[in-house]
């Protein structure tokens, strides 16, 4: 089996070089050990360009590898067919295709790019910019699924899931009450609380309705992806911020699954059976967000 890290080269992605040449940095040594522990499990699934591509975009290829290994860890027999989406598994009687993506924070200088961290300086968390990056990545992969359908690779009745990793985006792991991946596909805005004028007691907790996001130079885009019939072929999105350095949890424990309420082919809760799952009920103008934490009972969290 060829090694995951090639010695004596300068890869295009600095993350690859830093993890390989960890020196006295223990956290990078642990990252290399972890990545190399996944490789023997994934090597038979990898396409022939994997070892070259991981040198150019380490996190994207690491995410594909981790995702596949995590699904095998919870008991699935997976396939990684080429050409085709990254992973195929069967849940019950449904074939589930999963396409992985790890979007960047955007091009430097672009007005809607997510700004990088500024050490020693306070700044607002760029929620709008992050949501725009998530939305763009989801729709790019949705269009890719449509191409696979046209080629007869993805069949009618198959479920399609976009697995998005946010670790290449600054601030992505800093979440509020509801994860941004939920807000990217459903029109949930800022949290709000209603108090009784005389009693001072909390009467209701809800979210503002935010059907769109503004773009600096191009109007606005919808956040109602999972309320639109054109996106019914997309069954769900799966989110994670896992990376080789920050991996100290059980496989899948940080996963966030968001179900499409209008999916042509819905998938049952428990695809991974770890992390949290979000679905919605109620009419479109009064959505109730149902949250299942696999370490806690089902609860209805926000409206």
Which of 33 and 123 is assigned the larger pLDDT?
33
Q: Provide mean pLDDT across the span 165-170.
A: 95
Question: Which band of pLDDT confidence, cut at 50, 70 and 90, is reported for residue 258?
Answer: very high
Asked if the peptide bond before residue 83 counts as cis, ω within 30 degrees of 0, the response is: yes
Residue 213 lies in a domain: yes
Q: Is the pLDDT of residue 249 over 60?
A: yes
Q: Is the pLDDT of residue 46 over 50?
A: yes
| SS3 sequence of the chain | CCCCCCCCCCCCCHHHHHHHCCCCCHHHHHHHHHHHHHHHHHCCCCCCCHHHHHHHCHHHHHHHHHHHHHHHHCCCCCECCCCCCCEEEEECCEEEEEEEECCCCCCCCCCCCCCCCCCCCCCCCCHHHHHHHHHHHHHHHHHHHHHHHHCCCCCCCCEEEEEEECCCCCCCCCCCCCCHHHHHHCCEEEEEEEECCCCCCEEEEEEEECCEEECCCCCEEECCHHHCHHHCCCCEEEEECCCCCCCCCCCCCCCEEEECCCCCCCCCCCCCCCCEEEEEECCHHHCEEEEEECCCCCEEEEC
Residue 168 lies in a domain: yes
Q: Provide mean pLDDT across the span 121-126.
A: 74
Compute φ and ψ for 288, nearest 5 degrees.
-115, 125
What gap in Å lies between CA 132 and CA 11, rounded to an integer?
29
Q: Provide mean pLDDT across the span 222-249.
A: 95
Structure tokens at 93: 């009687």
Place of tokens 């885009």: 221
Residue 44 lies in a domain: no
Residue 69 lies in a domain: no
In this structure, of 27-36, 78-87, 267-276, 279-288, the range with the lowest mean pLDDT score is 279-288
Q: 182-198 pLDDT, tens per residue?
A: 999 999 887 777 776 66
Q: How many CA within 13 A on the CB side of residue 47? A: 15
Mean pLDDT in the chain?
Answer: 91
Q: How many CA within 13 A on the CB side of residue 186? A: 30
Which of 4 and 216 is assigned the larger pLDDT?
4
Q: How far is CA 212 from the centre of its chain?
A: 20
Residue 273 lies in a domain: yes
Q: 51-86 pLDDT, tens per residue?
A: 999 999 999 999 999 999 999 999 999 999 999 999
Q: Is the pLDDT of residue 218 over 90?
A: no
Which of 107 and 28 is assigned the larger pLDDT?
28
Residue 218 lies in a domain: yes
Residue 95 lies in a domain: yes
Structure tokens at 303: 């409206």
pLDDT of residue 124: 76
Question: Which band of pLDDT confidence, cut at 50, 70 and 90, is reported for residue 208?
Answer: confident
Q: Provide mean pLDDT across the span 200-216.
A: 80
pLDDT of residue 299: 47
pLDDT of residue 31: 97
pLDDT of residue 302: 45
The β-bridge relationship of strands 94-101 and 220-222 is unpaired
Domain count, the chain: 1
Q: 144-155 pLDDT, tens per residue?
A: 999 999 999 999
What gap in Å lies between CA 184 and CA 135, rounded to an integer?
6
Residue 161 lies in a domain: yes
Domain interval for residue 290? 76-302
């Amino acid at each position: 089996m060829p090694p995951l890290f090639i010695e004596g080269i300068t890869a295009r992605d600095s993350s690859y070089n830093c993890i390989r040449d960890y020196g006295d940095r223990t956290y990078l040594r642990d990252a290399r050990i972890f990545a190399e522990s996944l490789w023997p499990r994934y090597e038979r699934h990898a396409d022939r360009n994997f070892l070259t591509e991981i040198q150019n975009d380490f996190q994207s290829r690491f995410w594909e590898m981790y995702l596949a290994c995590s699904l095998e860890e919870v008991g699935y027999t997976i396939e990684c067919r080429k050409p085709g989406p990254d992973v195929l598994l069967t849940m019950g009687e449904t074939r589930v295709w999963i396409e992985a993506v790890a979007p960047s924070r955007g091009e430097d200088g672009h007005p809607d790019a997510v700004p990088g961290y500024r050490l020693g300086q306070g700044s607002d968390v760029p929620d709008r910019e992050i949501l725009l990056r998530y939305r763009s990545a989801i729709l790019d992969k949705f269009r890719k699924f449509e191409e696979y359908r046209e080629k007869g690779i993805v069949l009618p009745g198959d479920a399609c899931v976009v697995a998005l990793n946010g670790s290449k985006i600054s601030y992505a792991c800093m979440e509020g009450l509801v994860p941004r991946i939920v807000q990217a596909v459903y029109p949930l805005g800022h949290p709000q609380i209603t108090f009784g004028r005389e009693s001072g007691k909390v009467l209701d907790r809800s979210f503002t309705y935010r059907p769109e996001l503004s773009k600096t130079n191009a109007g606005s885009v919808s956040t109602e992806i999972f309320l639109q019939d054109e996106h019914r072929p997309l069954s769900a999105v799966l989110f994670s911020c896992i990376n080789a350095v920050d991996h100290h949890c059980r496989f899948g424990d940080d996963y966030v699954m968001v179900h499409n309420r209008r999916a042509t082919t819905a998938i049952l809760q428990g695809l991974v059976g770890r992390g949290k799952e979000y679905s919605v009920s109620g009419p479109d103008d009064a959505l109730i967000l149902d949250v299942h934490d696999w370490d806690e009972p089902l609860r209805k969290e926000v409206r």
